[in-house]
């Protein structure tokens, strides 16, 4: 996905800083989320470290700032990390070992877009349109039906009432949990 256009988008948003901030916020919320937290027990180095890894991967895919993910030594470890997450002892034994399901992916996207929106990335309209498409492309790796929900997940993150209801429900997306 690395193109001159995506590298230019990275420059237009001021470089990778906002992506790093957004990914760190995303993980801080994920560690508290009913659906995602059980996946987060594999590498217990906190939101900042998780956020750096995801942000470096995104930035490398965009191009323009070198290969921060590859140079971090994480190249080739994404699948292994996800395998560990699927098999986390924090997951209910009835689903332990299952890959990410549709509800997991929708929750992931909603929280991710919310965090990225909070750091101001949705205000960069060309970037935001590209980014939603970027997530839509890659979420299919984890669940083939998930791309159909990407636009709605991005829109969900725009509404304060949605995020407030989520928090009031104990960091649970009751309208999504169990959607298979």
Domains annotated on the chain, with CATH = 4-168 (1.10.490)
> Is the pLDDT score of 171 beyond 90?
yes
Q: Write down the mean pLDDT value for the chain.
A: 94
pLDDT mean over 7-33: 97
What is the pLDDT at residue 124?
A: 97
Counting runs of H as helices and runs of E as strands, what totals does the chain give?
Answer: 9, 0
First and final C-alpha spacing in the chain: 29
What is the pLDDT at residue 31?
A: 95
Q: Give the lowest-confidence range in 17-21, 23-27, 46-50.
A: 46-50
pTM metric for this prediction: 0.94
Q: Give the lowest-confidence range in 68-82, 94-108, 161-175.
A: 68-82
Q: Give the lowest-confidence range in 44-58, 103-117, 118-132, 157-171.
A: 44-58
What CA–CA distance (Å, rounded) separates 123 from 117? 8
pLDDT mean over 7-24: 96
């Amino acid at each position: 996905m690395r193109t001159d256009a995506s590298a230019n988008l990275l420059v237009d948003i001021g470089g990778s800083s906002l992506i790093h901030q957004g990914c760190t916020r995303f993980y801080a919320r994920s560690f508290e989320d009913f659906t995602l937290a059980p996946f987060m027990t594999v590498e217990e180095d906190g939101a900042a470290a998780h956020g750096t890894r995801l942000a470096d991967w995104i930035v490398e895919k965009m191009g323009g700032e070198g290969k921060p993910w590859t140079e971090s030594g994480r190249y080739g470890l994404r699948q292994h990390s996800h395998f560990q997450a699927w098999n986390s002892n924090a997951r209910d034994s009835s689903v332990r070992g299952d890959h990410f399901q549709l509800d997991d992916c929708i929750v992931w996207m909603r929280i991710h877009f919310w965090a990225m929106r909070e750091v101001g990335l949705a205000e960069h309209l060309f970037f935001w349109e590209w980014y939603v498409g970027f997530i839509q492309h890659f979420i299919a790796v984890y669940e083939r039906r998930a791309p159909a929900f990407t636009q709605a997940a991005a829109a969900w993150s725009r509404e304060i009432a949605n995020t407030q209801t989520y928090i009031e429900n104990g960091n649970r997306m009751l309208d999504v949990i169990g959607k298979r």
